[in-house]
Amino acid sequence: MDRHYDVIVAGGGNGGLVAAATTAKAGLKTLLVEKHNIPGGSASSFRRGRFEFEPSLHELCSVGTKEKPKEVYKIFDELGVNIDWRYEYNTFRAIVTGENGFDVKLRAGVENFCDDMEKAVPGCRESVKNFFDLAKKDAAALEYIYKMKGKPNPLTMVFKHADFMRTACHSVEDVEIALGMPEKARDILNTYWCYLGIPTDDLNAMHYISMVSSYVEDGAAMPYKRSHELSLGLEKAITDNGGEVWYNSEVSEFLYDNGRCVGVALTDGTKLYAKEVISNIIPHNVYSMSDNKNVPERELKLANARNFGITFVTIYLGLDCTKEELGIEDYTVFKSTYANPREQYNHRHDKPVGAYYVVNCLNEVIPDCSPEGTCMLFFTIPLYGNELPEDLTAENYKRYKNDVAKRYIEDYEKVMGIDISSHVEEIAVATPVTFARFLGTPDGEIYGYDNRNWDNVVMRANYEKTDFSVPGLTYCGGHASRGDGYSSAYITGEAAGKAVVRKLKGGN
C-alpha cells in the first residue's frame, strides 16, 4: 500500500525531530521515519548496569533560561516541550602540558571570562572584550540581513556592518591577531575549536565568535535525563500534533517524479509519498539512494568538493567512587600537549595519546546523574572516520577500542594525579564504527561536512538555494547550513520545517 503525506521527514536526529514537530504543529500531515528504534540519532542515551550514559552532548549553547530564552529554549518552548535544563557556569578548564603549557579555568559571563583571561594573560583583556563585542555586531548584521530576506543593501552593509563582513570572511586567528590578542590568549580562547572540528586558522571567525559568545554569555545547558529527554520530548511534540513517527524504518531510496523529490522507499519495500520531503540524512547518503539522473550536477560537485567533518572516539566510564573522592572539580577539561589549535589538530594521532582530548564529568553539573557513591566520565578524542587504523577488522576491533581507551585513561590519570582504572565499573567505547552503525553516516561522521573557511556557514546560508536545488527536498541537521552541533541542528530543523510550511500553506 502506498501512503501519502504532506511531509515526510527522513531521519529522526535533532534536526529531523524539530522539523517534523514544526510541520505537524502547523497542521500538516507529517510522518517521520527513523532507522533506529529510538529517536535522536546522537541525542540519546544508553544504559550499562546502573549507569545511564550521555552518548554525545558536551554542552548545549544558545539555550538561555525561561527569563532570558535563547534560540534553543524558544524552539522547545514553541513546540510545547518542557525540558529540565541544568546549567554549567564555567566554560572550561584547559590544561596544556607541553611547551608554554598552562592550566586555566574560565568562568562564564563575559566580564568573568575577560577577568579570568586577563589573569592568565595579563594585558589581553581589551582584545578579548573586543572579540565578544564583535559577536554583538555580527548579531546585529545578521538580523538586518534576515530582515532584508537575505538581500541586504550593499551600502548599508559597508557603512554599518563592515566588521561583520570582516569576521565573515576571515579566519578566527586573523581576526584575533587584528584585535591585537596575544598568542597565549588566542590559544586559550581557541580551545573550543574542536566543537566545530576545524583549527582556528581555517575556521570562520563569525561562526566561532558566535558559538563562543553563546557559551560565555549564557553558560551551557544540559538536560537532566540525558539527551534522551530532549528527543522523547520532541517526539511527543510530533505525535501530540497528529504527526506519526515510525522507528526501525530505514530509508533505502529517495523517489522522484520529473526531477521533483516525491517520497521515500523503506528497506522493506514500503513506498511513502509526500508533497515535501525533509532530509535529516546527509546529502551524500541521499545521493547514493537516488537515481543519479535526479541529482543535479552542481550538488554532486559540491559533495565531491567537501570532506566529512571530524568525528570521535568516545569513552564512557561508570566509576564506583565519587568525583569528590577522585578530586574532580570540573565539568569540562580540555587536555592538550600543544597550546596551538593547529598543532593540536596535526598531532591528533600521536602516541600514546593524541595532542588533544576532552574529559567531562556530568556529575559536576548533575550530581545525581549516577547512583550514590559513583560518578561518570566521558572522554572525547577527535579523528576523522577515514583515519581508523588501516588494519582494523571486525576481529581486532574490540582490542583496538580497549587499547585506545587504556592509553587515554592512563594519560588522564597521570595528568590529574588520580586513579581511574581501578574504579571502572562500566565501560563502553564508541568509535566511528559505532556511529556508522547507529547513525548510518558515511565513515561514521557526526559533524556533517567540515567547516573549512571556504565552505563556512555564512557561505552555506547564502548559497543554500543553489547548493540544494531539488524541488520538494529540504535538508536539516549537522550537514546543513549551520554546521554541526545540537543547537545548529535544532535551528536548521526549525528553519526547514518553517520553509516547508510556507511552501505548503503560504504566508511568512
- Taking CB under 8 A as the criterion, which residues in 447-466 touch another protein? 454-456, 458-459, 462-463
**By C-beta, is 156 or 329 nearer to another protein?**
156
CA atoms within 13 Å, Cβ hemisphere of 377: 31
* DSSP category for residue 472: T
Measured from the CB atom, is 63 or 501 closer to another protein? 63
Question: Phi-psi category of 228—alpha, beta or left, where left has phi over 0 and alpha has psi -120 to 50?
Answer: alpha
Footprint of another protein on 124-183 (CB under 8 A): 124, 126-127, 130, 134, 158, 162-163, 165-166, 168-170, 174-175, 178-182
User: 263: phi > 0 → left, psi -120 to 50 → alpha, else beta; which?
Assistant: left
Cell 522507528 -> residue? 247
> Does 305 interact with another protein (rule: CB under 8 A)?
yes
Residues composing the chain: 508
226 vs 223: CA distance, rounded Å: 5
Instruction: Provide DSSP, 99-124.
Output: TT-EEEEEESSHHHHHHHHHHHSTT-
Shortest CB 40 distance to another protein, Å: 10
**Binding flags for another protein, 252-291, as an x/- string (CB under 8 A):** ----------------x---------------xx-xx---
Binders of another protein in range 57-116 (CB under 8 A): none
Nearest distance from residue 298's CB to another protein, in Å?
Answer: 7
Q: With CB under 8 A, what is the number of residues at the site for another protein?
A: 97
Residue spans of beta strands (DSSP E) within 80-215: 85-88, 90-96, 102-107
CB of 6 to another protein, least distance (A): 15
Q: Measure the CA–CA gap between 208 and 216, rounded to whole angstroms.
A: 12
Instruction: Give the torsion sign (CA, 482, 484, 446, 185).
Output: positive
CA pair distance 305, 33, nearest whole angstrom: 29
Element (H, E) at 262: strand 260-266
Which parts of 10-39 interact with another protein (CB under 8 A)?
A: 37-38
Q: Which is nearer to another protein, 336 or 451 (CB)?
A: 451
Judged by CB under 8 A, the chain residues 310 through 339 that form the site for another protein are 320
Q: Is 495 helix (H, G, I), strand (E, B) or coil?
A: helix
Which of 388, 461, 476, 495 contacts another protein by CB under 8 A?
A: 388
Smallest distance from the beta carbon of 166 to another protein, in angstroms? Answer: 4
| Smallest gap from residue 20 Cβ to another protein (A) | 15
Pick the closest to residue 131 from 56, 16, 66, 208 (CA basis).
208
What SS3 state is found at 170? coil
Residue number with CB closer to another protein (97 or 436): 436
Q: Which residue from 456, 465, 451, 450 is spatially nearest to 495, judged by alpha carbons?
A: 465
Among 4, 68, 301, 505, indicate the residue that binds another protein (CB under 8 A): 301
**Structural element, H or E, at residue 344:** helix 341-346
Comparing CB distances to another protein, the nearer of 215 and 384 is 384
Q: 415-434: which residues touch another protein (CB under 8 A)? A: 421, 423-427, 431-434
Give the per-residue contact string, 487-506, with another protein (x = CB under 8 A; - = no). --------------------
Least Cβ distance, residue 289 to another protein (angstroms): 8
